[in-house]
């Protein structure tokens, strides 16, 4: 086969691949899992509390990931979390924001959460800072609440394999 023909086939493949199949640069849904969120410290001192967190991780490309999920707050509505992270070495660093509309009262919660998870086990630590508002006080005394919490995350659901492989583009270019 002539060099010009090979180049034409490679160029056509690069142009057609995104039309019919996922390309190597497209986000890749990895898996959903669950964690036990153990809170060991709050703004007023040590505590022993836990909740269940469910979430999914998507590889955005390279070492960059996104996370969407929720913390199950029994009889009080879910606490929704979303954000992104980066895999540096063996640690997945996540920066998540969260919101909750309480069931049965007028409190609305917001939160910023930082987590560091081991690449292999997806266990790790977290801390978060929250700022909440009671909408029933809007226009009056405006009741706000600021909080802090920290603890551990222990994966209890299916494993999620984090990769940083760039073999997709290479394997396509090496085909002849």
Question: Domain coordinates of the chain in residue numbers?
Answer: 27-161
Is residue 70 predicted with pLDDT exceeding 90?
A: yes
What would the pLDDT profile of 34-48 be if each residue is shown by its tens digit? 999 999 999 999 999
Q: How confident is the model at residue 167 (pLDDT cuts 50, 70, 90)?
A: very low
Average pLDDT in the chain: 84
Topology at the third CATH level for domain 27-161: Lipocalin (2.40.128)
pLDDT at 6: 56
What would the pLDDT profile of 75-119 be if each residue is shown by its tens digit? 788 999 999 999 999 999 999 999 999 888 888 999 999 999 999
Q: How confident is the model at residue 173 (pLDDT cuts 50, 70, 90)?
A: very low
User: Tokens representing 97?
Assistant: 């924001």
Location of structure tokens 């809007």: 138
CA distance 35 to 66: 16
Q: How confident is the model at residue 3 (pLDDT cuts 50, 70, 90)?
A: low
HEC sequence for the chain = CCHHHHHHHHHHHHHHHHHHCCCCCCCEEEEEEEEEEEEEEECCEEEEEEEEEEEEEEEEECCEEEEEEEEECCCCCCEEEEEEEEEECCEEEEEEEEEEECCCCCEEEEEEEEEEEECCCCCEEEEEEEEEEEHHHCCCCCCEEEEEEEEEEEECCCCCCCCCCCHHHHHHHHCC
Q: What is the pTM of this model?
A: 0.78
CB environment 130-141: b (16+ within 10 A), e (fewer): bebbbeeeeeee
Name the more confident of 82 and 3.
82
> Stretch 130-156: mean pLDDT, rounded?
90
């Amino acid at each position: 086969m002539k060099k010009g023909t090979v180049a034409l086939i490679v160029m056509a493949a690069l142009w057609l691949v995104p039309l019919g199949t996922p390309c190597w640069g497209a986000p890749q849904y990895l898996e959903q899992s669950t964690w036990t969120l153990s809170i060991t410290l709050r703004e007023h001192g040590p505590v022993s509390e836990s909740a269940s967190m469910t979430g999914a991780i998507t590889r955005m490309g390279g070492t960059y990931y996104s996370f969407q999920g929720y913390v199950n707050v029994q009889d009080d509505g879910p606490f929704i979390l979303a954000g992104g992270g980066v895999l540096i070495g063996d640690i997945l660093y996540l920066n998540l924001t969260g919101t909750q509309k309480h069931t049965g009262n007028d409190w609305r919660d917001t939160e910023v959460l930082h987590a560091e998870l081991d690449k292999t086990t997806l266990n790790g630590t977290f801390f978060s800072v929250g700022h909440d508002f009671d909408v029933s006080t809007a226009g009056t005394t405006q009741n706000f609440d600021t909080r802090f919490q920290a603890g551990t995350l222990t994966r209890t659901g299916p494993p999620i394999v984090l990769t940083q492989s760039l073999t997709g583009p290479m394997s396509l270019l090496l085909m002849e």
